[in-house]
């Protein structure tokens, strides 16, 4: 069970948009609409930002959006703000109540 | 508001068994939509799912850790537990407990507890 593939880093200037990809297989990302995204600040617990590919929990700014095409899911952060600088992880359901994490992406706001 | 709190020794000797407990408050551990998970994060590295337990006691484990992991639930105490045997330095990590809504989405997390494996 290999981790989902995310780019190690991503960056953008304030106000710009950045997209983070999460690539898996037909057994995980491509097979289920249960991809979620988490934001993690150093020393803090992860916070879920997107669930079921594109749904936003209450309290999460609409600058955060999710999508999926085939075996790749994506998280887009629009109108980048300094507070968006954090690590981001994707997670996919893989069946039989198993889940798998991505390797994480460090987002830098330039 | 659901709250989860991990507890357990912060230092474990190599080859011993790591034991942690997560107490759930502010909601029912027996809620039918809730699955309870352990997730870990080695220092400076990414997150790794360890396993999940349902309130009935049914468990699901990461295949890479399955031989060493036992997760159990005690609904009377509203808590679930992790045991990881034969630990090595590679098991040094922050261990989080979390609720997985419908077994898929970690919507509530504990604050995490650092466990160091060292003699």
For the segment A38-67, the average pLDDT, to the nearest whole number, is: 96
Under 8 Å CB pairs connecting chains A and B tally to: 65
For the segment B6-35, the average pLDDT, to the nearest whole number, is: 96
CB contact under 8 A, B62 and A98: yes
**pLDDT tens per residue across span A55-88:** 999 999 999 999 999 999 999 999 999 999 999 9
Buried b (16+ CB within 10 A) or exposed e, A32-60: bebbbbbbbeeeebbbbbbbbbbebeeeb
Which residue stretches of chain B are H helix?
A: none
Confidence of residue A96 (pLDDT cuts 50, 70, 90): confident
- Cα distance from B110 to chain A (closest Cα, Å)? 7
Above 70 in pLDDT, residue B75? yes
Among B39, B41, B46, B51, the strongest candidate for a mutation testing the A interface, having the largest count of A CBs within 10 A, is: B46
Among A40, A45, A73, the strongest candidate for a mutation testing the B interface, having the largest count of B CBs within 10 A, is: A45
Q: What is residue A78's predicted lDDT score, i.e. its pLDDT?
A: 97
**pLDDT tens per residue across span B26-58:** 999 999 999 999 999 999 999 999 999 999 999
CB contact under 8 A, A96 and B48: no
Report the DSSP pairing between strands B113-117 and B11-12. parallel
CB contact under 8 A, B107 and A1: no
Q: What is residue A2's predicted lDDT score, i.e. its pLDDT?
A: 79
Q: What is residue B113's predicted lDDT score, i.e. its pLDDT?
A: 98
For the segment B69-89, the average pLDDT, to the nearest whole number, is: 97
**pLDDT tens per residue across span A20-34:** 999 999 999 999 999
**Average pLDDT along chain B:** 96
CB contact under 8 A, B46 and A100: no
Above 80 in pLDDT, residue A1? no
Confidence of residue B100 (pLDDT cuts 50, 70, 90): very high
Interatomic CA distance for residues A75 and A54, integer angstroms: 9
- Max CA-CA distance within chain A? 41
Please name the residues between 59 and 78 in chain A that touch chain B, using a CB distance below 8 Å.
none
Q: Which of A2-6, A75-79, B68-72 shows the lowest per-residue confidence on average (mean pLDDT)?
A: A2-6
Whether B111 and chain A come into contact, CB under 8 Å, resolves to: yes
Report the DSSP pairing between strands B48-53 and B59-61. antiparallel
Confidence of residue B103 (pLDDT cuts 50, 70, 90): confident
Nearest CA in chain A to B53: A97
CB contact under 8 A, B109 and A3: no
């Amino acid at each position: 069970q290999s981790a989902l593939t995310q780019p190690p880093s991503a960056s953008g200037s304030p106000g710009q948009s950045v997209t983070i990809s999460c690539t898996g297989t037909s057994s995980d990302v491509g097979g289920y609409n249960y991809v979620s995204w988490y934001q993690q600040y150093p020393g803090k617990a992860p916070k879920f930002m997107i669930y079921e590919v594109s749904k936003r929990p209450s309290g999460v700014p609409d600058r955060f959006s999710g999508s999926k095409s085939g075996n790749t899911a994506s998280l887009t952060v629009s109108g980048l703000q300094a507070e968006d600088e954090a690590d981001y992880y994707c997670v996919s359901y893989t069946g039989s109540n198993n889940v798998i994490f991505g390797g994480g992406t460090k987002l830098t706001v330039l | 508001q659901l709250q989860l709190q991990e507890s357990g020794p912060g230092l474990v000797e190599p080859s011993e068994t790591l034991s942690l407990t997560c107490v759930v408050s502010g909601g029912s551990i027996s809620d039918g939509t809730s699955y309870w998970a352990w997730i870990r994060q080695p220092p400076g590295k990414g997150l790794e799912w360890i396993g999940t337990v349902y309130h009935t006691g049914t468990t699901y484990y990461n295949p890479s850790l399955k031989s060493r992991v036992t997760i159990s639930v005690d609904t009377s105490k509203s808590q679930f537990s992790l045991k990881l045997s034969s630990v090595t330095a590679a098991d040094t990590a922050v261990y989080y407990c979390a609720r997985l809504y419908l077994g898929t989405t970690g919507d509530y997390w504990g604050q995490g507890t650092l466990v160091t494996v060292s003699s």
